[in-house]
Structure 1
């Protein structure tokens, strides 16, 4: 999963910041936005191999040590302190929901977002990328996935999560956790309503219809307009 997130970061104008940590027990990569207008960092970590107790220790101790190591590295801007989000990869086999909530609601050091995934979801996403020869997971690619088949498949997923696609389940979770990704529903082709109305009007009533549309219908002029258009047969 961390490989997928690394691809997304690199494909959406984020660059790796090379920093060393005193604790190498956790796999991590720090990213900084390339644009100066986006003052933000993302720290990607994979905690799927940790036990419940190890997750608790990470929350209470390790995350603060990582924060201090990066802050004191001399390789980050001043805004790192307030504008860094830790994205935590966590396999769904980790069933401690209370701990997951504790990770995301922890107010100290990093803002923390947990991206949960299953082996089936990861296989579905990797399968899509392989079939469509996708090497860079840009925001456009993510929208292509969600808008496939005119968006009908994604709509079905939203209406029925239990039988929905594992691919959409993972993609929507990623979008919700990475603030720079934006879902853009594909615009549906609108029917030409005016054309349909005109086509439905009998030939003999076309002139009458045009007069109805072009007449100014104020309260005072209603009776006079009706008499004018329908020849006094009102």
Structure 2
């Protein structure tokens, strides 16, 4: 189940699990709150059904979500921030939920903001093989692997690919605190790249412009430019 992997994402990135009972058969639900040492205010409720189906997805929206909210409001581990700042992350096999259901769930803002991570068995298996703690640094390393080649491959064949990369991108999109950090070592020098493509005349004009005094008036600037082309 994807919920076991996402559990690592929370526990490795400044969140701790809150114990609670809900009594629903075959439904895994885990609440995460920021660790005391973290400057965060978000709560997250992670849910997944051990017997996921389209019918149970409907039940989650029509009944369980509201009841879970009421149960958690009574938990002594949550504070007033929970009421307005808790996101429900729903892990669901893509064969057991329709696009229409995902839209209905994510458009429903009652009690929780809701994000659905739908996944295939191939995606989950491929990501589990990585066997990491899923810290933000490790997740970023996986996304940035291949110096951007993997992302380009995904863009070109996104409808065909079902691997760890496509599932990681869903995690980035659906879990707000999972963000991509640009690695300066992987960025090329844009200025040098552009200058190297200039013609000889264009390069001369570029150098002339860089050497102009910033305090020149418009008239002085025009005189210098005219003097250059005579």
Structure 2-normalised TM-score?
0.80
The answer as to whether partners of 1:43 and 1:85 remain within 8 angstroms in 2 is yes
Bigger Rg over Cα: 1
| Structure-to-structure mapping, 1:94-113, within 5 angstroms | 94-113=96-115
C-alpha offsets along residues 46-65 of structure 1, whole Å, 9 cap, x if unaligned? Answer: 13623322322222112211
Residue 14, structure 1, aligned to residue 15, structure 2: yes
Partner of 2:54: 52
Deviation at 1:99, TM superposition (A): 2.0
Deviation at 1:182, TM superposition (A): 0.7
Aligned length: 220
Which segment drifts farther, 115-124 or 39-48? 39-48
Q: d(CA) in 1 for partners of 2:105 and 2:226?
A: 74
> Once superposed, what is the RMSD of the aligned Cα atoms?
3.2
Q: d(CA) in 1 for partners of 2:166 and 2:55?
A: 28
Q: d(CA) in 1 for partners of 2:225 and 2:84?
A: 68
Where do 5+ consecutive residues of structure 2 fail to align?
Answer: none
Q: d(CA) in 2 for partners of 1:53 and 1:226?
A: 74
SS in 1 for 2:114: strand
The answer as to whether partners of 1:48 and 1:94 remain within 8 angstroms in 2 is no
Q: d(CA) in 2 for partners of 1:98 and 1:191?
A: 43
* Deviant stretches of 4+, over 6 Å: 209-212, 226-230
Partner of 2:176: 179
| Structure-to-structure mapping, 1:72-87, within 5 angstroms | 72-87=74-89
Deviation at 1:145, TM superposition (A): 0.9
Distance 1:94 1:23, change over 3 A: closer
